[in-house]
Amino acid sequence: MRAEVLNLKGEVVEEIELPPIFEEEFRPDIIKKAVLSIQSHRRQPYGPNPLSGVNYAWENWGPGHGYARVPRWKLGLRSVVVPQAVGGREAHPPKVQKKWEEKINKKEMRKALLSAISATAREELVRARNHVFEGKLPKILVDDFESLSKTKDVIAVLKAIGVYGDVERAKERKRHRSGIGKMRGRRYVAKKSVLIVVAQDGGIMRSAKGLPGVDVVLAKDLNVEQLAPGCHAGRLVVWTKSAIKALGERLC
């Protein structure tokens, strides 16, 4: 499989042979399993205070008083501690000992990464994620792109290669989150747009990270979740020529 390499003006400068990973079989089932495994490792253990609902001065009256035989507050008649009592403990609370991490085989994770990479070169899968772009896929740029330190220069390049419309789509669809997450540091929901994959950071990570929905990652750190947000493969990706070479050396 061959692909065109574009300069910063969007002009074709050469054609290269892509690594075999871009011809990998599309496996959405394994991709979903890998993404959920990655997300599960970010979950934190949680549970109630061990004394919650039981920190009372209580006594048990025993039979013969015409009352239910439950622990009762020493200063009154109200029942305490038991799960059915107001202010009592929870019957089966979450345990901090629970392991939230979902395991996955190394070969499955590798297969998922290869499949997610190949999906970025299939136009029908990228269109299915509602990405907006012009021209052919994959989008590969010369290595000069990695050294851009100005956001306006990055925008000019994205316009030249026909993917800036996707950034505008992400900006227009930013909205307030529904629910209590607004009070927990997650006020807005924003769409994912372009993923930029580079071999080295020459300034591009800082200059592009402020664009709506845009993520920048080094080829050596690329994972399945970045390529398939929400378990849906086919993200719009802009590669550099060196990043393609680095991926070929890492995964082939």
Beta strand 139-141 with 237-240 is parallel
Q: What is the pTM of this model?
A: 0.87
Buried/exposed code over 47-70 (b: 16+ C-beta within 10 A; e: otherwise): eeeeeebeebebeeeeeeeeeeeb
Query: What confidence tens digit (pLDDT) does each residue in 208-249 have?
Result: 989 999 999 999 999 999 999 999 999 999 999 999 999 989
Q: Nearest Cα to 223, choosing from 13, 41, 7?
A: 41
Q: Estimate to the nearest angstrom the gap between the alpha carbon of 179 and the chain centroid.
A: 20
pLDDT at 109 over 80: yes
Q: Nearest Cα to 57, choosing from 38, 26, 80?
A: 80
Q: Specify the CATH number of the domain 2-20+104-251.
A: 3.40.1370.10
**pLDDT score, position 252:** 77
**pLDDT score, position 151:** 95
> Is 35 in contact with 190 (CB distance < 8 Å)?
no
Query: What confidence tens digit (pLDDT) does each residue in 17-66 have?
Result: 999 999 999 999 999 999 999 999 999 999 999 999 999 999 999 999 99
Mean pLDDT of 81-88: 95
